[in-house]
A and B are shown apart, each in its own frame.
Chain A
Amino acid sequence: MFRSPPSFFSNSQIQSSRSGYSSNSSMAYAFPEEVLEHVFSFLNCDKDRNAVSLVCKSWYEIERWCRRRVFIGNCYAASPEILIRRFPEVRALEMKGKPHFADFNLVPEGWGAYVYPWIVAMSASYPLLEEIKLKRMVVSDESLDLISKSFKNFRVMVLTSCEGFTADGLASIAANCRNLRELNLKESDVDDISGHWLSHFPDCSTSLVSLNISCLLSEVIFSALERLVARSPNLKILRLNRSVPLEKLPNLLRRAPQLVELGVGSYTHELRNDTFTSLASAFSGCKQIRDLSGFWDVAPAYLPAMYPLCSRIISLNLSYGTIESPELLKIVSQCSSLQRLWVLDHIEDSGLEAVAMSCKDLQELRVFPSEPYRVEPNVTLTEKGLVSVSHGCIKLKSVLYFCRRMSNAALVSIARNSPNMTRFRLCILEPRVPDYLTHQPLDAGFGAIVEICKDLQRLSLSGLLTDQCFKYIGTHAKKLEMLSIAFAGDSDSGLHYVLSGCHSLRKLEIRDSPFGDKALLANAAKLETMRSLWMSNCPVSFGACKLLGRKMPRLHVEVIDEGGSPESRPDECPVEKLYIYRAVAGRRDDFPGFVWTVNSNSPERFS
């Protein structure tokens, strides 16, 4: 998101040539443009570059011509035209589309976030573009094809949680991007048509450094994959999909002993000694592996084959397949260098105690539920496991923990053990569950988290919570940037505490909580300092949405309602879903029938 909207400067100044910047500034004489540009080239962080561009008009001009990497947190906050007009020489674009709750099916299909218009505009203006990284966007085969044909130096394609493309689009990228270094389809939803797309990498292509196809559902042509790996001496990251069978893995690994990050496919096979020894020796040959993932469908007998890797591993993701507690315990006990662990709740409290004892460098822990829709526990994973880890792993900073019970006492312990926590996401599977020991709300526990963990940037709440919890958050969570709320709070006061107190807040997402018009309208100005606000199934009326849209010109207010036009109901009726975001671009023109946008340009609604 650009800190200074282009309207800050007149058009003529923006379009002036590089040498034609204003000579009013004495800085122009003190430091030649080339020197400043050289200095700016050391600035990689967006915040720094944005700050520099606000110093004076000449710095703004110099900086915009030499900015090579652009990050757009919300594709609808800007537009391709605004991007290209301000930054003419971009080499790398990173962009996000749908709001986070789209991950959980809360955003209806067809909502938007299409990348194609951006690709069209950039194909004309950024011939030297090298990198595109997208998250939660709709990427069509046409987009991929256009990318592959428009940018001769294209190197890096990362599609995280994207959808809309098929293997045909991938084939275009493979065939036409001669210098491709990275192709990463992290968790994207790909409609496979065939596995043949891998064969489209020409025989002369040897530049691949990173290939992540773990999300693909259908089989890939293994021989094509093998040949590709064999001719890619720089390949450091290889994440296979589930369809790659275990018995094929050793051959692949032998061709890529330089791998640093490996995602295996299915980890199961009928028990055979030769398969085991072949696998074990192949793993031993990969001395550089520091990151392991994959492991769908695990046959426990084959797990010992990866033991030799454990002591060097810094990141381990075992969250896709079922591995029972004893096996998990054996693995983590050997991972003395582990910094990041993603695992299913099969690890249980006992396994987490082993983690606490063995993984002293652990910084990030994620424990996912193996049976999320089941009320009765299927495993013994409770608050105790997390307390153990926070106690034993003093570097712990990032937590995502799904469990079935929690207590205020445990949360206070965790806060005290991990005062440096920066990301804390707790999901108690059942909504509105109180402290299981005292039957009190979990206000005090989360209050301790925000009070003690002063650097907390991200927080997700669950369990029974009253407005008091939000009072704590508003009072203490001064560095909080992203907050997720579900089934919590009593009244508008809760929302008011957050909006008025959390000075660093950028993203707020709320579902099924009793927050409504009063808090929203009272804090309207705050919304312009944030990237976005999502509220679904909350008592926010259509009237309030219209008012907000009319009063706040730089906010786009989108009402998502699949129940028909909100205009056909009284203004007091609550809307289904509400998505508010700040923007320098005008209202988008690609919204579907179930989205109503309200802004100051139009007193009536547009459907």
Chain B
Amino acid sequence: MMNDYATVMSSEDSSSYPDEEDEFGLELGLGLSIGGSGNDRSRIFSVRDFTPSSSSSSTSSSSSSFSGTKRRAEHELDPEHYSPPRRYAVRQVIGWPPVRTHRINSYLKQEGAEETAIDVKVPKYCKKSFFVKVNMDGIPIGRKVDLNAHSCYETLSLTLDQMFRVASGAGSTRINVDGEVVMAGPCFSLTYEDKEGDWMLVGDVPWEVFLKSVKRLRIRRATKANCQNY
């Protein structure tokens, strides 16, 4: 009757790793490592993912193409499909370890604390805030982001990346798994729930339209099949 926590690995089962000398970074999205210096260049999703289309036509079935119609985000959750390296097992168990949300939030970088390359035109305190919740697959603790602090998808993307970036500690590099460099960036998609309760991919509609219809955000891990389409 007990659920089997396939994803909770015991520390005795650590798989053998090629090199002790290599510094291993955490795979993006496979664990929220908090408090590191976080100069990791890998992004959760890149700016080019957001290509606002001029036409927002009626909903169609999901297609793999980027531009054009409003896309429905499929529920591509498949945690078992992607088996993480055991040393950095992701904690898919909700509420464990028992660290309170406000404490997790205080570890993560303060939103907007870093200079971004793109100029945010309107200072935050002049506008009313519009906080929406953001959750990411595999991470039990969600965050909130102020959408009114942004004027375009690019800054939102950068901010969310900073918030959910997996800091792997000073001087770490990306993991090589079976000789293959894992590209974590394109394997995530940012989706939002709109006022009708449907989950849509972010970036298809003009920013202002998006603001009017978004209720909350979710960063979803895409399956390997969809990764190729990016």
The answer to whether B113 and A297 have CB atoms under 8 Å apart is: yes
- 4 shortest A-B CB distances, which residue pairs? A104-B95, A539-B1, A370-B35, A373-B31
For the complex, is A79 an interface residue (Cβ under 8 Å from B)?
no
Stretch of B5-13, B58-66, B201-209 with 4 or more beta carbons under 8 angstroms from chain A:
B5-13
The answer to whether A511 and B95 have CB atoms under 8 Å apart is: yes
For the complex, is A91 an interface residue (Cβ under 8 Å from B)?
no
The answer to whether B97 and A193 have CB atoms under 8 Å apart is: no
The answer to whether B87 and A194 have CB atoms under 8 Å apart is: no
The answer to whether A187 and B102 have CB atoms under 8 Å apart is: yes
For the complex, is B91 an interface residue (Cβ under 8 Å from A)?
yes
Q: How far is the CA of A378 from the CA of B110 in the complex (A)?
A: 22
For the complex, is A48 an interface residue (Cβ under 8 Å from B)?
no
Give how many A residues have a beta carbon under 8 Å from the other chain's beta carbons: 53
Report which A residues bind B (CB closer than 8 A): 101, 103-106, 161, 187, 189, 191-195, 215, 217-219, 221, 242, 266, 296-297, 319-322, 344, 368-376, 378, 402, 404, 427, 429-433, 486, 511-512, 514, 516, 537, 539, 574
Number of A-B contacts (CB under 8 A): 131
Q: How far is the CA of A260 from the CA of B36 in the complex (A)?
A: 33
The answer to whether A105 and B34 have CB atoms under 8 Å apart is: no
B110's partner among A105, A242, A372, A537 (CB-CB below 8 A) is A242
Name the B residues within 8 Å of A369 (CB-CB). Answer: 97, 99
Within 8 A of A (CB), among B90-142: 90-91, 93-107, 110-111, 113, 124-125, 128-129, 131, 139-141
Chain B: CB-nearest residue to A511? B95
Most chain A CB inside 10 Å of its own CB: which residue of B32, B89, B95, B125: B95
Q: How far is the CA of A231 from the CA of B124 in the complex (A)?
A: 28
6 contacts between A and B (CB under 8 A): A104-B100, A319-B103, A320-B107, A375-B87, A427-B97, A537-B2
The answer to whether A187 and B1 have CB atoms under 8 Å apart is: no
The answer to whether B31 and A433 have CB atoms under 8 Å apart is: no
Name the A residues within 8 Å of B5 (CB-CB). Answer: 431, 512
Most chain A CB inside 10 Å of its own CB: which residue of B3, B103, B169: B103
The answer to whether A374 and B125 have CB atoms under 8 Å apart is: no
B128's partner among A194, A219, A374, A539 (CB-CB below 8 A) is A194
The answer to whether B125 and A372 have CB atoms under 8 Å apart is: no
Q: How far is the CA of A276 from the CA of B186 in the complex (A)?
A: 45
The answer to whether A296 and B95 have CB atoms under 8 Å apart is: no
Name the B residues within 8 Å of A378 (CB-CB). Answer: 33, 36, 169
The answer to whether A187 and B33 have CB atoms under 8 Å apart is: no
Chain A's nearest CB lies how many Å from the CB of B19?
14
| A242-B89 CB under 8 A given contacts A104-B100, A106-B95 | no
For the complex, is B26 an interface residue (Cβ under 8 Å from A)?
yes
Given contacts A104-B98, A539-B1, 14 further A-B contacts (CB under 8 A): A104-B94, A105-B95, A193-B128, A194-B125, A218-B124, A218-B125, A219-B125, A371-B33, A371-B36, A372-B99, A374-B88, A430-B10, A431-B93, A537-B2
Most chain A CB inside 10 Å of its own CB: which residue of B1, B36, B113: B1
The answer to whether A103 and B100 have CB atoms under 8 Å apart is: yes
